[in-house]
């Protein structure tokens, strides 16, 4: 069955075990350890199996209860995973600071775990609304039955004085992907091929409707607030999920540190470069519009200073010529 909180549970498939057929079978009775059976799940609407169930059946007389060892079925242990999220860059991000720039960074966390957030580095003094990062965020995750698997990717403008300003949020539900990783025990990259073959039919991904940049990365909108229709640009990301054991065998560096592979992340473009040239530094940290205004103000101030410096001489010459 498929369990639903609000509406009735949905039937996925059924299989029927004939206990008499097994109990009166000489072959079945002669086997000390009863075999594990793999049986197809059928549904009235389809002739194709809706998956398979693996089960084990034994039938004992009541008198054997006392002498038979009890069977203990433990809960499935929580699977430890590593979420490898790459934030490549963003576009259409509003300029939050009064001087026409934004100091943009991203903070990532799972729903209900806001205190366990992981951040990218900061693109200081971004002027075109297209900050670049090429930054790998590694998030450890323990897959437990009731753990919320929605990944929040929040966009912020860093302020040196006061609290940071929220730009927006993107939410990616990783329930289906995490389930695949735990079932198969192999890594999954959320790529275009995986999307076309499976994720495009999953509701939470169908609603997300990513715009693919290439086969391994995609754009999703940055909403002003969760649940709001207004967007504040888009963020380009890539996601892969591996088991803890696989992550130990094939470690990758945080951000752009070594080992930097799968994929290799180059240094981002458009960042502020330190220079001894004050004009170059000014061009990097002040928006061109405000730089032009500053240049005009400086020119006006220089003209006023020159006029103030020459005014006494000009006036004295004019007075001398008048009385000559």
pLDDT at 291: 66
* Mean pLDDT value across the chain: 88
Residue-wise pLDDT for 277-290, tens only, equals 666 666 666 666 66
Rounded to 5 degrees, what are φ and ψ at 228? -90, 150
All residues at 6 or more sequence positions from 293 whose CB lies less than 8 Å from its CB, including other chains: none
Q: Tell which residue, 81, 123, 82, has the closest CA to residue 235.
A: 123
Mean pLDDT of 249-276: 90
All residues at 6 or more sequence positions from 34 whose CB lies less than 8 Å from its CB, including other chains: 28, 56, 57, 58
Select the highest-mean-pLDDT range: 5-14, 31-40, 126-135, 225-234: 126-135
What's the CA gap between 49 and 43, in Å, rounded? 7
Residue-wise pLDDT for 152-210, tens only, equals 999 999 998 889 999 999 999 999 999 999 888 889 999 999 999 899 988 889 888 89
Architecture of domain 79-249: Sandwich (2.60)
| pTM for the full predicted model | 0.70
3-state secondary structure of 312: helix
pLDDT at 166: 95
Alpha helices in the chain (DSSP H): 19-23, 26-30, 175-184, 192-197, 203-208, 244-249, 278-285, 288-323
Residue-wise pLDDT for 98-138, tens only, equals 878 899 999 999 998 988 999 999 999 898 999 999 999 99
Q: Tell which residue, 146, 152, 116, 148, has the closest CA to residue 227.
A: 152
pLDDT at 279: 63
């Amino acid at each position: 069955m498929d369990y639903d909180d609000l509406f009735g549970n949905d039937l996925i498939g059924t299989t029927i075990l004939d206990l008499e057929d097994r109990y009166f079978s000489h072959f079945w009775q002669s086997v000390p350890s009863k075999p594990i059976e793999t049986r197809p799940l059928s549904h009235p609407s389809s002739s194709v199996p809706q998956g398979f169930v693996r089960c084990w059946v034994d039938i004992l007389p009541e008198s054997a209860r006392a002498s038979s060892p009890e069977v203990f079925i433990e809960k499935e242990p929580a699977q430890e995973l590593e979420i490898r999220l790459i934030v490549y860059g963003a576009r259409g991000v509003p300029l939050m600071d009064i001087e026409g720039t934004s100091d943009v960074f991203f903070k990532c966390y799972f729903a209900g775990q806001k205190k366990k957030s992981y951040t990218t580095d900061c693109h200081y003094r971004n002027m075109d609304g297209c900050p670049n990062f090429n930054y790998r965020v590694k998030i450890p995750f323990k897959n437990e039955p009731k753990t919320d698997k929605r990944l929040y990717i929040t966009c912020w403008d860093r302020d040196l004085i006061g609290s940071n300003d929220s730009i927006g949020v993107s939410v990616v539900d990783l329930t289906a992907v995490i389930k695949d990783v735990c079932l198969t025990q192999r890594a999954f990259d959320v790529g275009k091929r995986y999307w076309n073959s499976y994720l495009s039919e999953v509701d939470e991904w169908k609603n997300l409707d990513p715009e693919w940049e290439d086969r391994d990365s995609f754009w999703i909108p940055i909403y002003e607030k969760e649940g709001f229709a207004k967007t504040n640009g888009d963020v380009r990301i890539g996601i892969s999920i591996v088991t803890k054991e696989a992550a130990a065998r094939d470690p990758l560096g945080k951000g752009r540190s070594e080992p930097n592979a799968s994929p290799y992340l180059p240094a981002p473009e458009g960042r502020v470069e330190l220079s001894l040239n004050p004009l170059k530094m000014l061009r990097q940290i002040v928006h061109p519009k405000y730089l032009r205004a500053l240049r005009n103000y400086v020119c006006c101030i220089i003209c006023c200073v020159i006029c103030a410096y020459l005014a006494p001489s000009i006036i004295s010459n004019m007075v001398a010529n008048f009385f000559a």
